[in-house]
Every structure is written in C-alpha cells, then in structure tokens.
A and B are shown apart, each in its own frame.
Chain A
Amino acid sequence: MAEQEYWRWTEYRHHDESIDPRAGAIVAAGIDVGSVSSQAVVTVDDRLYAFSSMRTGSNSPDSATNALNWALEGTGLTPGDLACVVGTGYGRVNIPFADKAITEIACHARGANFMYGPSVRTLLDMGGQDCKIIHCDEQGKVRAFLMNDKCAAGTGRGMEVFADLLAVPIEQVGALSFEVEEEPDPVSSTCVVFAKSEATGLLRRGWPKSKVLAAYCAAMAHRVVTLIERLGIEKEFAITGGIAKNAGVVKRLQRELGVEPLTTTYDAQIAGALGGALFATALVRKGKGRKA
C-alpha cells in the first residue's frame, strides 16, 4: 500500500470564460517558479484570465513550461500568442522562454496591489521555503522588505513536515487546529526539527492532533509576527502565498498582531505570477515585449 502523502496539496487551474483573449490587445504571462510550488498567470489587458498552480519539480525550466501549458489548457491560446512573459521566484533565472526575470518581492507587491487594492502598505508573503515582509506604496512599488530564507520555521515547508508527522492532510490543518476546547501554549521550539520532537512528546502524552496542531500553528504565527515587528506594520495589511490559505496560522497571527488582514476573492497563492504578468503587460506597452 502506498503511503499517503499528507503534505500534498491540490494542484489547480482555472480560466475565466467571460473573457475573450482574442478580443484583447495584450495577452501576457507571469510565471512564478518557487522552491515548492510554481504558478503561471495569463492576463488579458490587465485582467486576470487564466492561472495554474502546481508542485515545482526537480527542474525549473520543466516546472515553468508545465505550469504555463496547464494554465493555457482549453483556452485555445498557445505560448506563441503571449506578447511577453516575465519569470519570477526562486527559479526565475532558469526559465528559457521568459523575456525578463523580475524578483518575487517586486512581483508579489505588484500582484497584491492588484488583488487587494492600492491601500495595501504591508504585505506578508509566506512561501514554501521563505517568508517575506514587504512595505509598498499605492502603486505596489516596494519600499522596504525583510526576508527569512535560512530557516524552515514560518514557511510552507515547515507546515508540510507537520502535516506528514501528524498524518493530517495539509488542507485540513487549519480547520482541525480550531477543534480545541482551549487554546494551548505554543510549542516552545522555533526550529521545525525540534518542534517535531516536541510534538511527538505531546502526542505520547495523549494530546489530540487538533491540540498539537493548535500549538504548532500558534508557534508559527508567533515566529512570523516577530519577523513582521522587525520591519513594522502599516495598514492596510495583506497576506499572500500558500499559508494565506491556512486559517490556523492566519487567525492566530491576526490575534497576536491585533491587525486584521484584507481579504480577497482572488487566489492568494498566485500573487507573484500575477504581478509578473502585470509587469509583462507594462513592458509591452513600453515597446519592450517579446523579442521576436
């Protein structure tokens, strides 16, 4: 029997049937090849048209190609129809068909500005292997940022490790962590490796999984709050990246910070790729699109 992979989250794609890409002037794409997940976003004249999100494979160029092809699936478009492609994320320099590489910090800020509106001033991007705090202006331009990419505490990868340890599918972690009578103290270890041994000890002491998850989500939230406080928080505040979908972390973070994050109907995980597509569109307008 194959072992269940509890960390494995659902890959997805979507395109907006109400938009006719052939009617638009500029069709552009952004591809965010992250350390854990890759997203591709296709925009039509600054409107979100199609997107995909999937796990990054061992090879960045393949991951970028797969994500883009999947986003384009069923749209009738081919990569040749794109006026410009911007690559971002950790694997951005390894996307052969990208016209330009732009840092994920700039792209996330730009994407968040689109998704949450121009009032966003502090952005928390919780990615697979890093965590960033970004201050930006009303145009989505980065003014300052702070990043933790040395340590798995406070990243999606850390949460995956915990989902596996507790045998809880990662998409259920948030909801389950609230099935506790009383909020436990956070686990005391910051380090994911030590937190894991601590959690194993708690399970042996008879703690239910929900309570252990509550203790870990709280510790993760605390870790991120410490990082946020180093740069300071200005309203409005928004969260992007995979962990934005984990209410177990987001609600505890909000409780500790005392600041409510903005909400959006867009998918918070595609912010970087979306920012890339918007930059690509702007490049086309400046006559700096695809080099034929």
Chain B
Amino acid sequence: MVTAGIDMGAKWVKVVLLRDGEVIARGKALTGFEQKASAAKALADALGQAGLSADAIDRTAATGAGRKDAPGSPIELTEVTAAALGAVQIERSARTVIDVGAEEGRAIKTTDAGKVVDFAVNEKCAAGSGAFTEAMARALETPVEEIGPLSLQSSQAIPMNAQCAVFAESEVVSLLHARTPKADIARAVHDAIANRIVSMARKVGINEHVVLIGGVARNVGFVDAVERELGLKITVPPDPEFVSALGAALHAAERRG
C-alpha cells in the first residue's frame, strides 16, 4: 500500500510517500502565497522520484496550518498528532518531542506508540519560532543557514533583554554598534529562542528521550542552545523537517479505508 503524508507548513510544504512502512520518496516546495499550487508541486516532485502516478496513492493524510488546501481530499490530522507519530517511528525511545517550525513551536509528551499524552503550543508570537532566527539573521546580515555554525564560535554568553523579535532586532543592531562579536550575538539569539521553547516544554514535563524536529532543528546553534538549556543530550533525526509529513503518511496507512 502506498500512502502520502503532506505537511502544509507556514513556510514549506513537505511530502512523504510511504510504501508498506518504508519511505520511498520525499518532496518539498516553498509555501508562498499559492499554497495549493505549492502542495501540488511538492507532491508531483515526490511522485516523480518514486516513478509513480497520482492514482498509485491509496490514501493521503495532511497536517500543518494550511492542511485544508492539501490536494487529494486527504484525511486531516493535527500537527501535534503527526509530529508524535513521526518522531516515535524514527526514534522509538522518544518521549518528549520538540517541534520548531517557521511560525510555531510545540512540545509534546508522547507514549511509545506515538500517542499524545500532553502538549503545549506557541503560535501567537514569533519569539519561539524560526521567524525569530530569520529576523535576527537579517539584523546580523548573515545568511540564516550560517547563523547556527557562527554561534558555535562564540566565546562568551551575553544576555538578550528583549523577547519580542521586533525589539530583539533593535537590540542586535545596538550590540553590533557596540562592536560585540557577531558570534556572541548569534549565540545570544539562539539562547533566547531555546529558553522560550524549553520553558514551554517544561510546562508539559520533560521525559527522556528528547527528540527535536522541524526545520529549525537543522540549526546546530539552536540544538546546542537547547541541550545547554535542558542539560540533556537530544536527538535530531536526519531530515527533521519531514518528520510530521512522515507522521501523516503513517496515519494514512494505519487508517483502514
């Protein structure tokens, strides 16, 4: 059986194709302002890689903020359900899943079967999401992919007073004017967002093993900051932004038609 999982994120649409429990292809497209077209593109991309046509898909499930616009009249599931299912599939021992995307952050307590016990979400404020690091990278005039490695070169922790991304941007500019090394500012940026995310995770309770997913998990500076904040080693799966799409594809496979 072939199922498709589509994660309609704020910034990217991610697609995972699954055949009998094995990932056979993945696709990704910028969400942009035409998310229906973007989703169709990401799906076509994945189908092309798998050498399949759309009718080869037995069932589709969609998650993410824009899931109403997903193609193929899919089964819908929440981001929380999808994240827990996907994370536990990859890392059996996962009990706390932290998912940080472009505009949302969430912490999920899960069972060994990927069933959600409790969760907390930040969706109202950019301070706990990828949008925060993006804004700070702009202020630092550093490409967002480089801000993580840059922060690892920092030699000192400096505090950031601002929580709000708008105020933090001005703070970064003042720090630059005061000739604070960029690496130290980058570290302060990651410490700030890690602090927000971890305090949210503490509300649901942290059980080992902790797995970090979502696009922001690719940022090594953020991962390092979360580990320091938690005082724990955490696991980041190889393609952290596809985990929720995988969860959706698994959900589609589990549902009997």
Among residues of B, the one whose C-beta sits closest to the C-beta of A157 is B166
The distance in angstroms between the C-alpha atoms of A144 and B167, with both chains bound, is 26
Q: What's the least CB distance linking A160 to chain B, in Å?
A: 9
Q: Does chain B have a CB within 8 A of A207?
A: no
For window 9-32 of B, CB contacts with A under 8 Å fall at none
Chain B, residues 153-172, CB within 8 Å of chain A (1/0): the string is 00000000001111100100
**Chain A residues, Cβ within 8 Å of B174:** 58
Q: Which of A158, A189, A205 contacts B166 (CB 8 A)?
A: A158
Q: Which of A158, A190, A194, A204 contacts B103 (CB 8 A)?
A: A194
For window 171-213 of B, CB contacts with A under 8 Å fall at 174, 177
Q: Which of B33, B131, B167 contacts A194 (CB 8 A)?
A: B131
Check B166–A161 contact: CB distance below 8 A: yes
By the criterion of a CB under 8 Å from any partner CB, how many residues of chain B are at the interface? 16
**Chain A residues, Cβ within 8 Å of B124:** 189-191
Check B167–A152 contact: CB distance below 8 A: yes
The distance in angstroms between the C-alpha atoms of A58 and B126, with both chains bound, is 25
Given the interface contacts A58-B174, A201-B33, does A193 sit within 8 Å of B131 by beta carbon?
yes
Check B33–A157 contact: CB distance below 8 A: no
Check A191–B167 contact: CB distance below 8 A: no
Check A191–B33 contact: CB distance below 8 A: no
Among residues of B, the one whose C-beta sits closest to the C-beta of A203 is B33
The distance in angstroms between the C-alpha atoms of A120 and B171, with both chains bound, is 35
Q: Does chain B have a CB within 8 A of A129?
A: yes
**Chain B residues, Cβ within 8 Å of A205:** 33
**Chain B residues, Cβ within 8 Å of A194:** 103, 126, 131
Q: Does chain A have a CB within 8 A of B135?
A: yes
Q: Does chain A have a CB within 8 A of B125?
A: yes
Q: Which of A58, A192, A193 contacts B177 (CB 8 A)?
A: A58
Q: What's the least CB distance linking A165 to chain B, in Å?
A: 12
**Chain B residues, Cβ within 8 Å of A201:** 33
**Chain B residues, Cβ within 8 Å of A129:** 167
The distance in angstroms between the C-alpha atoms of A89 and B177, with both chains bound, is 22
Q: What's the least CB distance linking A207 to chain B, in Å?
A: 12
Given the interface contacts A58-B174, A193-B131, does A151 sit within 8 Å of B163 by beta carbon?
yes
Q: Does chain B have a CB within 8 A of A286?
A: no
Among residues of A, the one whose C-beta sits closest to the C-beta of B125 is A191
**Chain A residues, Cβ within 8 Å of B170:** 157
Q: Which of A150, A158, A204 contacts B33 (CB 8 A)?
A: A204
Q: How many A-B residue pairs have CB under 8 A?
A: 41
The distance in angstroms between the C-alpha atoms of A158 and B174, with both chains bound, is 18
Check B164–A150 contact: CB distance below 8 A: yes
Among residues of B, the one whose C-beta sits closest to the C-beta of A36 is B170
The distance in angstroms between the C-alpha atoms of A129 and B164, with both chains bound, is 10
Among residues of A, the one whose C-beta sits closest to the C-beta of B134 is A193
The distance in angstroms between the C-alpha atoms of A157 and B165, with both chains bound, is 12
Q: Which of B33, B163, B165 contacts A193 (CB 8 A)?
A: B165
Q: What's the least CB distance linking B161 to chain A, in Å?
A: 10
**Chain B residues, Cβ within 8 Å of A58:** 174, 177
**Chain A residues, Cβ within 8 Å of B163:** 150-151
For window 174-219 of A, CB contacts with B under 8 Å fall at 189-194, 197, 201, 204-205
Check B135–A157 contact: CB distance below 8 A: no
**Chain A residues, Cβ within 8 Å of B103:** 194, 197
**Chain A residues, Cβ within 8 Å of B164:** 150-152, 192
Check B131–A192 contact: CB distance below 8 A: no
**Chain A residues, Cβ within 8 Å of B131:** 193-194
Chain A, residues 2-30, CB within 8 Å of chain B (1/0): the string is 00000000000000000000000000000
Check B167–A193 contact: CB distance below 8 A: no
The distance in angstroms between the C-alpha atoms of A189 and B170, with both chains bound, is 21
**Chain B residues, Cβ within 8 Å of A152:** 164-167
Chain A, residues 131-159, CB within 8 Å of chain B (1/0): the string is 00000000000000000001110000110
The distance in angstroms between the C-alpha atoms of A276 and B131, with both chains bound, is 39
Of A151, A157, A158, the most chain B CB neighbours within 10 A belong to A151
> What are 28 pairs between A and B in contact, CB < 8 Å?
A58-B177, A129-B167, A150-B164, A151-B125, A151-B164, A152-B164, A152-B165, A152-B166, A152-B167, A157-B166, A157-B167, A158-B166, A189-B124, A191-B124, A191-B126, A191-B165, A192-B126, A192-B166, A193-B126, A193-B131, A193-B132, A193-B135, A193-B166, A194-B103, A194-B126, A201-B33, A204-B33, A205-B33
Using a CB–CB cutoff of 8 Å, the interface residues on chain B facing chain A are: 33, 103, 124-126, 131-132, 135, 163-167, 170, 174, 177
Closest 9 A/B residue pairs (Cβ)? A152-B166, A193-B126, A151-B164, A152-B164, A193-B165, A192-B166, A191-B125, A191-B126, A204-B33
A150-B163, A152-B165, A205-B33 are known; give 8 further A-B pairs, CB within 8 A. A58-B177, A129-B167, A152-B164, A157-B170, A191-B125, A191-B165, A192-B126, A192-B164
